[in-house]
Structure 1
Amino acid sequence: MKTIQAAEITKVVSELCKKACYQVTPDMRAAFEKARENETSPIGKDILGKLLQNADLAAKEVAPICQDTGMTVVFVELGQDVHIEGGYLEDAINAGVADGYVGGYLRKSVVAEPLFERKNTTNNTPAVINTRIVPGDKLKIKVAPKGFGSENKSVLKMLVPADGIE
């Protein structure tokens, strides 16, 4: 049985939140570079170059790659032989998200109650936490900020064919 302190989880999640918003992963960078090499349109090549420049600037200046740092999605693989001590896993993760977003000066987009008051939580919690119990004594955590641009406004409407084009 391996014991992990909840405070250590909080610290790790805080750093992962910042890193996920400040840095492009090597595989993403390679994909941008390959796309720029293969792009035939001058405008497309220029835009891909600007994306790479933005990624470099964000990492150098320790600033978000995009202003839409969205909602934090956390993927957890918890070994069945791991014991969390000093608090609950979910609380430790949410404390890490709060610390990362507040301390990292990241945009906080989460609202406590989305239907009526829409009051911002001011720390981007709660996170969406996906947990898998796996064999072993390891704890693996991935953080993925999910931009909210596509979720700001939406409508679902049934268009009746008999209503015509108008």
Structure 2
Amino acid sequence: MSGTIDHDTIVSAVVDILEKAQTTLPQDVIRSLEKAKERETAPVAKEQLEAILRNIEIAGNRKVPICQDTGILIFFVELGRKAVIDFNLEEAIHEGVRKATRSIPLRPNAVDPLSRGNTGDNTGQGIPDIKYELTEGSSIKITVAPKGAGSENMSAIRMFNPTEKDRIRNFVLETVLNAGGKPCPPIIVGIGIGGSFDKAARLAKASLLENTEDMTEEERMFLADINSLGIGPMGLGGRTTALAVHIKKSHCHTASLPVAVNIQCWANRHASVILGGDE
């Protein structure tokens, strides 16, 4: 039947996209790093970017993770409303994660928030984090975006008064400046404006999936401001503190203005697969 997708297909697809995301980077990210290397004039900054690009090349050739921090696993699932699913989709994704943890392999990163007990397989209560969106058609698109702690820990959210929109720029710059070299720059900066407390954060994180070479004029202005900070690759100074800035917005309450900044390291890892669909 058109649109029917089985359990094993999901499991295998999750393993495949996890391997791709962990061992390679999207071409737009690589091109942005290459362009940054050409622009850099500081020898140390250029050396850091050369080392990053060499690391990417070695990881791809050897099929090993780009970074030892293979992150917590964030999934974005676009579910066609005509897709036929007669199994537990979430459990299938979890099974794929467990298999990928063993086969790639991935560092076990999922721990209890208080006891710090490690499940050993990158699954647990609420992890992996799966975000669902209903779409038209009968296909399922699954995107995985591993997120390391070094960059995630530097992210921030602030609930502004609606009259304080002129403070957004300073908040973004303050967040990046306070992060310094900790998130392994050059970074990608995702900004979520509007919605609710959690919606702004979700918008900021989702924006990290956008093409690093495709920015609006507003986003390029933020990028120029961030790069003027001079933090540079790995925090050692230089012209490239960030590769890209992406902004997503949502309508919000008349009395509220949430703003979230989600920072991603240079290893902006993500990969997708589309399953099923009409013949």
* Secondary structure at the counterpart of residue 16 of structure 1: helix
| Corresponding residue for residue 92 of structure 1 | 92
Deviation at 1:102, TM superposition (A): 1.5
CA distance in 2, matches of 1:38, 1:63: 29
Output one character per residue of 1:78-132: Cα deviation in whole Å (capped at 9) or x when no partner: 00000113x2111111111111112111111001x211x2211111013100110
Q: State how far apart, in whole Å, the 2-side matches of 1:150 and 1:52 are.
A: 19
Match of 2:251 in 1: none
Q: Deviation per CA, 1:23-81, whole angstroms, max 9, x where unpaired?
A: 11111110000100111111111110110000000011111111001100011100000
- Residue 4 of structure 1 aligns to a residue whose secondary structure is coil
Amino acid at match of 2:32: A
Q: What's the C-alpha RMSD, in Å, of the aligned pairs?
A: 1.5
1:151 positional shift: 5.7
Q: Relative contact order (C-alpha < 8 Å, sep 6+): which is higher?
A: 1
Whole-angstrom CA distance in 1 between matches of 2:84 and 2:130: 18
Identical pairs, percent: 41
Counterpart of 2:84 in 1: which secondary structure? Answer: strand
Letter in structure 2 aligned against 1:12: A
Question: Are 2:119 and 1:121 equivalent residues in the alignment?
Answer: yes
**Structure 1 residues 43-58: aligned runs within 5 Å:** 43-58=44-59
- Contact conserved, 1:80 with 1:135, CA < 8 A, in 2? yes
The CA distance in 1 between the partners of 2:55 and 2:69, in whole Å, is 14
Q: Structure 1: how far apart are the matches of 2:139 and 2:14? A: 15
Which residue of structure 2 lines up, in the alignment, with residue 101 of structure 1?
101
Please state if 1:149 is matched with 2:150: yes
Consecutive unaligned residues in structure 1, runs of 5 or more: 154-166
1:132 aligns to 2:123 (yes or no): no
Question: Structure 2 vs 1, CA of residues 143 and 151 (structure 1 numbering), >3 Å: closer, same or farther?
Answer: closer
Cα distance change of structure 1 residues 151 and 52 upon mapping to structure 2, 3 Å threshold: closer
TM-score normalised by length of structure 1 = 0.85
CA distance in structure 1 between the partners assigned to 2:92 and 2:42 by the alignment: 47
In 1, the alpha carbon distance for the partners of 2:73 and 2:101 equals 9
Does structure 2 conserve the Cα–Cα contact (< 8 Å) formed by 1:17 and 1:101? no
Residue-by-residue CA offset, 1:5-30 (whole Å, 9 max, x unaligned): 02101110011111111111111110
Cα gap change, 1:17 to 1:24, in 2 (>3 Å): same
> Which structure 1 residue ranges, 4+ long, deviate > 4 Å from structure 2?
150-153
Quick check: which has more Rg, 1 or 2?
A: 1
Higher alpha-carbon deviation: 117-126 or 65-74: 117-126
Paired with 2:81 and 2:68, the residues of 1 have a C-alpha distance of 38
Kindly state the Cα deviation for residue 149 of structure 1 after the two structures are TM-superposed: 2.6
The number of residues matched between the two structures is 150
Structure-1 separation of matches of 2:152 and 2:49: 25
| Distance in structure 1 (CA, Å) of the matches to 2:52 and 2:150 | 18
Where do 5+ consecutive residues of structure 2 fail to align?
Answer: 155-279
Taking the aligned partners of 2:105 and 2:38, their CA distance within structure 1 comes to: 34
Find out whether 1:14 has 2:12 as its counterpart: no
Kept in 2: contact 1:18–1:101 (CA 8 A): no
Give the aligned partner of residue 163 of structure 1: none
Whichever residue aligns with residue 24 of structure 1, its letter is L
Letter matched to residue 64 of structure 2: A
